Every structure is written in C-alpha cells, then in structure tokens.
Amino acid sequence: MEAFNKIETILSEIEASEVNSAEMLEAFRIKYLGTKNMIKPIFAEMKNVPNDRKKEFGLALNNLKKVAEDKYSALKEIISQQESDREKESIDLTLPPDSDFTGSRHPVSLVMNHMINIFEKIGFVVEEEREIEDDWHNFTAMNTPDDHPARDMQDTFYLKNSVTNLLRTHTSSVQARVMTRQEPPIRIIAPGRVYRNETISARSHCQFHQIEGLYIDKDVSFADMKQTLLYFAKEMYGPKTEIRLRPSYFPFTEPSAEVDVWMGTDTDITYKLTKGTGWLEVLGCGMVDPKVLENCNIDPEVYSGYAFGIGIERSAMQKYDISDIRLLFENDVRFLKQFSSAL
Ligand code: DAH
C-alpha cells in the first residue's frame, strides 16, 4: 500500500534527521508540524485505504504525528541548552563594566546632602527618625491642640484601624523624639520624608522632604537663629544671597517667621516658583514655644532655643530647573539619568 509506505518513509526520515541549530530546528518544525506540514496530506489518503485496514492506518498516522512532536520537544531542549551554554562562555568577566550604566543620585538627595553638609560644618548632628509616628509626637507635643485643622483627616494620613498612628506630616516630630530622650544642649538636624493628604499637582505632592533643625541651650536668642539661617542661605545659594524674614505663625514656635531667599524672576522657573515676586519661601522657623519645652520635660526657665523646617523639593526644582514636582517621584530613568554628572 502506497499510503503505508509514505508513513514509513517519513518515520525513518524523522528518526534520522539531525538538528544542531535554532534555524534547523525551525525548519524541522515547519516541515513536520507547521500548517503546511508533510504529514497532513497523508490524512486525505484515508479514503483510498480499504475498510479493514482503515483503523491500522489511522493508528500509524497518529503515531507518526506523535513521533514528530516528541522529537521536536527533545531537540528544542537540546538546542536551548546549547545556546545558554554558549552565552555563558561568551561573557567575559574580566572586561571593565559598561560606563553607560553608572548610577546617579536623585536630585532630592543631592540637595538634601548639600544642606546636611552645611549644617554639619557648624556643629549640627544628624538625627534620623521614624516616618510612622503617633499623634503625640507629631501634634500634641508640638503644641497643636486636638481641634487644630492640621489634624484634619484631609491633611493627615492615619494608619488603617488607628486613631493615633499616622504618617508624619512634618519632621518637627523629631524635635519631640530628641527632646524627650536627651538633655540640652541639643543641636540637631533631622532630614527625611513627610506626608500630607494633598491633591497632587505640578506644585504639590502627597510626599516630600524636609530638614528640621533644633538648637536648645541656655541663652539662645532670635539673633542667633537669624545668623545661622543667613549663613545657611549664603552657603546654599551663593555668597551674595539676601534673605528676608516675614512674621508668621506656627503652633510650636513663638515668635515665628518664614524665610524667603531672593531668586529674581529672570527665568520661567524662578518666575513660577516665586509666583512672580522673586522671593522663594524656603523655610519656617521661630523660637521654640515654652509649652513645647515643658511637654518634653525641659525647663523653659533655664533653656531656650530655636527651630526651623526647610522644604527640599522647591530648592531642588530651582537648582535644576525642574518645572513639575511630580518628576521627582516618578523615577523615570530618562529624568534621573540627567543628574549623573551632578554628583
Ligand atoms: N513643621 C513646619 C511645616 O511643616 C515647618 C516648621 C516651621 C518647622 C517652623 C519648624 C519651625 O521647626 O520652627 O510646615
């Protein structure tokens, strides 16, 4: 029977076929398993096979198909193993790394590290603290009463199933942490991330970074604070930098002020950042409220001090001409790569 012979021929062909590359494997697949494979047309010959041998013919055909499939999977395994061996051999571990893959620091880290260095030079010590806080350290100790709007669920992220645990809304919580465990003199800065439930836009985000400063000792004055902040501004923005202090209000300081640095309105970025005034608000500050000292068991009759909180993002945006705060949190490599030379 001719049809039976065809099956036999293909069977021995398959068994004898040698495959030693991915291309040959693909050719094998097309020939025996592809949509126009050479086994398919033999199925049509069923009609020429006498009835008493039809069953035998069917079994032989199905067997042929299975042999082709099994051989293909076995070959596939061998070829992929060979390829991975070859790849391993071709990696030269003695070559120097590709310089295109040099990492870079995030612009927020660059600015934050710069600020830390400035304060370390005049004796401030870095304190790092938790981002999940309780409301005593974040609000109560900092003289922010229970009914203060800052505690509103609108502004604060409370942890699920908790009325006391929250994501700190400012680094001022570190003041309370340090003052309750350390006796004056205290001279610390606390850099870190803070969170607020705010609508995300080009100018504001629900997470950002601050550096808190705190100095507590005998006879610390408002003039001491002003000199320290002027020194900071000149180191940060250049020796000719001018600052201005505007009276302000914070629950934890009395008196309180906000400090602006003169940027001008020459570029689009400075115009936008300063809302057209030329003055960039960089920090809040003030003399630590006696109530805060009392809350933390420090005698306000003996000690006084100042505190300040600096926002990092706006300075980073001004320094690197970044017009949208969201870029700082998207971790787009194309954006981050641009800072590799800024190290
Ligand atoms: N915690 C304030 C804020 O997040 C910033 C601040 C203002 C910190 C005055 C201070 C300070 O230490 O004295 O807006």
| Domain of residue 211, CATH code | 3.30.930.10
User: CA 58 to CA 295: how far, in whole Å?
Assistant: 92
**3-class secondary structure, 279:** strand
Same domain, 122 and 155: yes
Question: Which of 304, 308, 242, 250 is closest to 278 using CA atoms?
Answer: 242
Same domain, 111 and 14: no
> Tell me, what's the pLDDT at 149?
80
| Residue 306 maps to a domain | yes
pLDDT in tens, 91-138: 888 888 776 667 889 999 999 999 999 999 999 999 999 999 999 999
How many Å lie between the centroid of ligand 1 and the Cα of residue 306? 11
User: CA 67 to CA 61: how far, in whole Å?
Assistant: 10
Same domain, 181 and 150: yes
* Percent of the chain at pLDDT exceeding 90: 72
- For ligand 1, atom 5, the nearest C-alpha belongs to 309
| Residue 95 maps to a domain | no
User: CA 97 to CA 102: how far, in whole Å?
Assistant: 9
| Residue 102 maps to a domain | no
Residue type for 128, please?
A: E
pLDDT in tens, 265-281: 888 888 888 889 999 99
Q: Which residue reads 């035998």 in tokens? A: 56
User: CA 205 to CA 35: how far, in whole Å?
Assistant: 56
| Residue 94 maps to a domain | no
Q: What pTM, to 2 d.p., does this model score?
A: 0.71
Q: Which domain holds residue 287?
A: 107-342
- For ligand 1, atom 3, the nearest C-alpha belongs to 170
Same domain, 114 and 83: no
| Residue 301 maps to a domain | yes
Pocket flag, ligand 1, residue 143 (CB < 6 Å): no
Q: Which residues contact 122 (CB under 8 A, 6 or more apart)?
A: 228, 231
Q: Which residue reads 């041998």 in tokens? A: 53
Residue 129, Ramachandran bin (φ over 0: left; ψ between -120 and 50: alpha; else beta): beta
Ligand 1, pocket-test mutation among 173, 215, 250, most atoms within 8 A of CB: 250
> Tell me, what's the pLDDT at 171?
98
Atom of ligand 1 nearest to the CA of 212: 12
Same domain, 204 and 327: yes
User: CA 245 to CA 226: how far, in whole Å?
Assistant: 9
Q: Chain-wide mean pLDDT for the chain?
A: 92
Q: Report the domain count for the chain.
A: 2
Pocket flag, ligand 1, residue 209 (CB < 6 Å): no
Arithmetic mean of pLDDT, 185-201: 96
Arithmetic mean of pLDDT, 130-158: 89
**3-class secondary structure, 41:** helix
Pocket flag, ligand 1, residue 258 (CB < 6 Å): no
> Tell me, what's the pLDDT at 86?
85
